[in-house]
Amino acid sequence: MTAIVFRTPGTLDMRAFTTMGMSAKPQSDRPIGVFGTGLKYAVAVLLRLGARFEVHTGGHRYWFEVAPVDFRGSEFQQVVMRRDAYVGGEGWRLGRRMKLPFTTQYGLNWQMWMAFRELYANTLDEGGDTREVSGDGAQTWVGAAEEQTFIVVEHDDFTQAFRDRAETFLELGDHQVLNRLPGLEVREGSTQRMFYQGLRALDLGRPAMHTYNVTVPQHLTEDRQLGREWQVRDLVANTVATCDDEDLIRRVVTAREGTWEHGMAPSAWTSPSEAFHRVMAARPRGVGGGWGGYYGGYDRRPEAARDTWVEAQRPWRVDGGDVVDAAGKALLSKPFTSHDGQWQTLAGRIVAMANAADEAGAREVAERREPPAPVMLDEDGDDVPF
C-alpha cells in the first residue's frame, strides 16, 4: 500500500485535533489555513471515505478510528483518537481512547482532494515536506528522526490527489502570469479550475481560456469554495472591461462558444477603460452579445457622414460583419446586439437596394433622409432664414 507522509518540524499540539477554532502558524507570516478547523475536517472526511490516518509526534502514535453512536434514533460514526506509546523491546503499547466532539458527517460535502488540500497546506505553513512512500518505507521514514511530526494517510484516491497536486496548488503548476490586475491574476493555460489566493476554489464546469487566481478577499463556503460562480464571473468581466491590456480584452470579448468566458458581461455601472474603447472601436469579429450590449451604453464612435453612402462605389457586398463598397470600404457594420441571422437579412436587403439604384436615385434617397431645414414665413408668405 502506498502512503502519503507529511513531515513538519517540532511536536504537534494535539489540541489541533480536539479543540475547534484554534489556529496558530508561527512558522508563516501568511498562513494558508486560518480557521482552526482544517485538521478536524480532514480527519472526518478521510475516515468517512475509508482512509487510514495516523499521527506520530512527541514519542506517541495517535491512531484515528470511528465508533458508532446513537443520536435520537439515528446512528452516527463518532471520531475516536487513541494514543499509543512506543516501548523499547515491546513495540507499540495501545493507549486509551478519546472520543472527539465530531462525527464523520463533519464536512459532509468535502471530497478527497479537499482533505489533501488541508493537510498539504498545513505542511507548507509549517515549513515541512511531503512524500509518497511505498510498502514499509513509511514506517522507516517516520522512525528516522525525533522532534518532528509525521502524518500518514493511506488511500488510493488520496495518493492520486497528491500526484495531481498541481491542480490544487497554483504555484506547483506551469501557469505563467500574463497580467496582475486589481483583485485578479490572469495566467497562461486553459483550465476548469478557479483559484483563490493560489488554492483551487471552484470547479467551473467548462474550460476557461486562461487560469484565473482571485486575490481580493472573498467569502468562502464551508468547504473553502467560492460558492457563487456568478460573482466570480462578474469579477472577471468587470476587471477585464476596466484593464489596460488590449490583447486580454480582445481574447475575452471574442471568447468562442463552449469556453467559460463566453456569454459573460460586465456590470452596467462599470465604466470601461480607454483600452476597452480602442478594442471595441476596431470592431473585432465574434464579439459576444453580452459585451456588445454592455458597450452600447458607452459607445463613443462618431456617426458616419451622411454622404458616405452616396459617394460609395457600386456594387456593394456583404463581407462578414460589414457592408463594403466596390473598393472594399466599410459602409456599415453589424450592430453588437444583432444576431448573425438578423444581420445577414438586413445587410442583404441594404446591398440589394443599393445595387439596384443608380447614383441619382441613391442621392435622392439620401436627400429624403435629411430632415428639411426649418423655415419662417414673412407677412407676404415668403421664406426667411430661421
The model's pLDDT over 121-144, given as tens digits with 9 standing for 90+, comes to 989 988 999 999 986 656 666 665
Q: What is the pLDDT at residue 146?
A: 67
In a domain, 175, yes or no: yes
One domain, residues 215 and 94: no
In this prediction, residue 305 has a pLDDT band, given cuts at 50, 70 and 90, of very low
Q: Is the pTM of this model over 0.85?
A: no
pLDDT (mean) for 44-50: 94
Considering the chain, what percentage of its residues have pLDDT values greater than 70? Answer: 79
What tens digit of pLDDT does each residue of 247-267 get? Answer: 999 999 999 999 999 989 999
Q: What is the pLDDT at residue 47?
A: 95
Domain boundary among 275, 296, 317: 296
Q: Which residue has the higher pLDDT, 167 or 386?
A: 167
Domain boundary among 109, 132, 163: 163
Phi, psi of 343 (to 5 degrees): -65, -45
One domain, residues 317 and 275: no
In the predicted structure, residue 75 carries a pLDDT above the cut 70: yes
Q: Which of 9-23, 185-199, 342-356 has the highest mean pLDDT?
A: 185-199
Amino acid at 30: R
Q: What is the pLDDT at residue 32?
A: 42
Q: What is the pLDDT at residue 351?
A: 82
In this prediction, residue 174 has a pLDDT band, given cuts at 50, 70 and 90, of confident
In a domain, 378, yes or no: no
In this prediction, residue 88 has a pLDDT band, given cuts at 50, 70 and 90, of low
Measured over the CA atoms of residue 356, residue 361, residue 363 and residue 369, the dihedral's sign is: negative
C-alpha cell at 115: 482533505
Q: Which of the residue ranges 92-101, 192-201, 254-263 would you say has the lowest mean pLDDT?
A: 92-101
One domain, residues 59 and 123: yes
One domain, residues 129 and 229: no
One domain, residues 182 and 259: yes
One domain, residues 238 and 281: yes
Q: What is the pLDDT at residue 374?
A: 53
One domain, residues 291 and 189: yes
DSSP secondary-structure letter at 259?
Answer: S
Range of the domain at 102: 2-163
In the predicted structure, residue 45 carries a pLDDT above the cut 60: yes
Mention every residue, 6+ apart, whose C-beta is less than 8 A from residue 284: 250, 253, 254
Q: Strand pairing of 211-214 and 191-196?
A: parallel
In this prediction, residue 372 has a pLDDT band, given cuts at 50, 70 and 90, of low
DSSP-assigned letters across all residues of 270-308: PPPPHHHHHHHHT--TT--HHHHHHHHTT--PPPPPTTH
In the predicted structure, residue 311 carries a pLDDT above the cut 50: yes
In the predicted structure, residue 24 carries a pLDDT above the cut 70: no
How many distinct structural domains can be found in the chain? 3
In the predicted structure, residue 107 carries a pLDDT above the cut 60: yes
One domain, residues 107 and 209: no
In this prediction, residue 193 has a pLDDT band, given cuts at 50, 70 and 90, of very high
CA 50 to chain centre: 31
Count Cα neighbours of 250 within 13 Å in the Cβ-side half-sphere: 11
Taking all residues of the chain, what is their mean pLDDT, rounded to a whole number? Answer: 82
Is the Cβ–Cβ distance between 211 and 195 less than 8 Å?
Answer: yes
One domain, residues 129 and 80: yes
Q: Strand pairing of 191-196 and 91-93?
A: unpaired
Which runs of E-coded beta strand occur in the chain? 2-9, 52-57, 60-71, 74-87, 91-93, 97-103, 129-134, 148-154, 177-181, 184-187, 191-196, 199-208, 211-214, 317-319, 322-324, 330-333, 375-377, 383-385
Q: Which residue has the higher pLDDT, 343 or 194?
A: 194
Q: What is the pLDDT at residue 26?
A: 47
One domain, residues 154 and 32: yes
What tens digit of pLDDT does each residue of 270-285 get? Answer: 999 999 999 988 888 8
In the predicted structure, residue 386 carries a pLDDT above the cut 70: no
In a domain, 329, yes or no: yes
Name the nearest CA neighbour of 162 among 134, 137, 185. 134
- Nearest-angstrom CA–CA distance, 50 and 52: 7
In the predicted structure, residue 30 carries a pLDDT above the cut 50: no
In this prediction, residue 306 has a pLDDT band, given cuts at 50, 70 and 90, of very low
In a domain, 343, yes or no: yes
In a domain, 45, yes or no: yes
Domain boundary among 267, 296, 325: 296
In a domain, 328, yes or no: yes
- Nearest-angstrom CA–CA distance, 100 and 19: 9
One domain, residues 189 and 159: no
Q: Which residue has the higher pLDDT, 262 or 366?
A: 262
- Nearest-angstrom CA–CA distance, 97 and 62: 10
Name the nearest CA neighbour of 279 among 302, 262, 295, 303. 295
Name the nearest CA neighbour of 153 among 268, 261, 55, 83. 55
One domain, residues 277 and 342: no
Angle value at C-alpha 42, between 150 and 113, nearest 5 degrees: 100
Angle value at C-alpha 314, between 367 and 365, nearest 5 degrees: 15
In a domain, 334, yes or no: yes
In a domain, 24, yes or no: yes
In the predicted structure, residue 33 carries a pLDDT above the cut 50: no
DSSP secondary-structure letter at 94?
Answer: P
